[in-house]
Structure 1
């Protein structure tokens, strides 16, 4: 598909090595970073979690081959005959913002969306966890108006976000000085009476991988291990995590922060990076210390580490909107929503069915979490 100086191609695991270098470069320079749409994450995910069903739509500059816009999609739906392309965003990567180069023309985003719409007879594209109000969403809105596409927003919410620069430093100081922040610092002093309390952040790929194994062990010892849902208890998820994190660490795009007491892990946090933004991927802690909020203590430390990173421009908590740990430390918010794009009667029909299916799923998930006593 060609227009102007652009070429749009659909890649899969058989041939995306042809554009991996350009793809990786776009992941780092995108106007809204998203590590979950980069090759380190996608290649491991398709190998272990999707059985090769994932497609990568990429707009490239004709001639130079530079990647301008990228969207990985899966065909999903509540019924066999009602499958539509959906951006790859969910529990393992709750961010679905398209990768868009800073100088990408409007045609790049337009053609990627149009190519996705043509994958299904329902003329529909679903983008879960897409940034709501960011630079990409603004361009998408402009392109949709030009093409006559409808853009419906649902599941609009937000989550804790850490700003960079002087504003981020001031926000962290305010959080530490707050009533909750002082309580967390008091918890730390209480722990120091039981032994040496130490915090660390991995600085090499080897340290990050050692930290990952410590995380897997700590997670298994908690409630997830008791329920059988810890990563180490699920072979596909474990293989995906180890492969993805190893590649990210090798590229200096992964970090493991730890809080230890007398040399034993109390809390561990896994981070992924894209551009100059960090993403708090997963956290585990020793539940014997839950009354002293080890996860929150570690996040205060991690926030300071983030701010010391040259050029740091923000950190996404990747949590739910009411996550107490993240909300104590970070006061800024990242807004996101599910964007549904399309046009025509087929789109209207399919959108109505998918909306009802989504509401039913949300209700079921909420009931299950309520029964388990988990947020």
Structure 2
């Protein structure tokens, strides 16, 4: 059974069952965690018309939450000129999708698509995984329900597998020229003071403050896009960190020189997957590439520090420096499902408007 709720309907009981669902979902997704969605909705998108689609089944101890998707009701725009629903994506989200209980993927997605068919003409998914178990089940459920997928674009995103990492992994993935340059930068940086690196689990107030400060120091601060640049963004971040920290599903990495932290990252955990979220560095040390050296050390030690994770999603775009460090790749797509029963004249009007838009561009 699937039903739609507003944000005002999300009770503490639903939040508890949501957390349990995330832990047993087919694929982890930190950006669909209640620890992420609820602070983001409150502080980043307070006026968004959100719909929480819950799929439940009856069990011995009552209804059990087996699937959950968060969508935003949208009016027509350049992607779709008619009203539609869009998978929720805040400005700090790097992946959308649906949480699906690994035990019942077919039943959950069939119920979800059946519910969505009653509500809107199209369901938009920006930045969703286009491969893997969830993507396969989504395509199969869509085909069963008469939905068609229309892709706007696809990109490759880097990830790492911790149990494959270490010095030999770095030697195999980073070119000799790049390794030589990084060693030179590390040696020159060490001349500024003793170097050290640390990974910290859970909430450390000092780590939080240093990350916020370092991220704001760089170009994001100058452009007004850092977490500290907006009160809503910083409030979201602090609330989000507190939620993940309560379950020890967050970790920071820090690179120090002479006792001073010059580069930092914050990373989230959902299920058996990690998600690189934000990073910052001190621009005064930019000639030494401190942020790259920080991620390089994480790559070197991930097999020990993150042994329980099956992979860590970089969240980075194509061409980033992480592409040169992490060899894993999967496809992230943006597109929409529309139902095949959409009347022909409506589809023709949509195509005409898109063609007109393209000509005007």
Return the TM-score normalized by structure 2.
0.88
Q: CA deviation at 1:156?
A: 0.7
Q: Secondary structure at the match of 1:66?
A: strand
Q: CA deviation at 1:265?
A: 2.1
Closer/same/farther in 2, CA of residues 112 and 169 from structure 1, 3 Å limit: farther
Q: Which residue does 1:50 correspond to in 2?
A: 45
| 1:72-221 mapped onto 2 (5 Å cutoff) | 72-79=70-77, 82-120=82-120, 123-166=121-164, 171-175=169-173, 178-205=176-203, 207=204, 209-221=205-217
In structure 2, stretches of 5+ residues that fail to align are none
Find the aligned partners of 2:274 and 2:152 in 1 and give their Cα distance. 26
Q: Secondary structure at the match of 1:348?
A: helix
Indicate if the aligned counterparts of 1:169 and 1:307 stay in contact, CA closer than 8 A. no
State whether structure 2 residue 329 is matched by structure 1 residue 333. Answer: yes
Return the TM-score normalized by structure 1.
0.85
Closer/same/farther in 2, CA of residues 267 and 25 from structure 1, 3 Å limit: same
Q: CA deviation at 1:51?
A: 1.5
Closer/same/farther in 2, CA of residues 167 and 223 from structure 1, 3 Å limit: closer
Q: Secondary structure at the match of 1:186?
A: helix
| 1:211-360 mapped onto 2 (5 Å cutoff) | 211-308=207-304, 309-323=306-320, 325-343=321-339, 344-345=342-343, 348=347, 352=351
Closer/same/farther in 2, CA of residues 70 and 177 from structure 1, 3 Å limit: same
Q: Which residue does 2:6 correspond to in 1?
A: 12
Q: Secondary structure at the match of 1:185?
A: helix
In structure 1, stretches of 5+ residues that fail to align are 1-6, 364-375
Post-superposition Cα deviations, 1:249-282, rounded to whole Å, max 9, x if no partner, equal 1211111111121122211111011012111101
Find the aligned partners of 1:263 and 1:248 in 2 and give their Cα distance. 27
Closer/same/farther in 2, CA of residues 275 and 83 from structure 1, 3 Å limit: same
Indicate if the aligned counterparts of 1:45 and 1:240 stay in contact, CA closer than 8 A. yes
Find the aligned partners of 1:239 and 1:55 in 2 and give their Cα distance. 23
Q: Which residue does 2:19 correspond to in 1?
A: 24
Q: Secondary structure at the match of 1:321?
A: coil
Count of residues in correspondence between the two structures = 350
Closer/same/farther in 2, CA of residues 267 and 354 from structure 1, 3 Å limit: farther
Q: Secondary structure at the match of 1:65?
A: strand
Closer/same/farther in 2, CA of residues 165 and 329 from structure 1, 3 Å limit: same
Closer/same/farther in 2, CA of residues 251 and 197 from structure 1, 3 Å limit: same
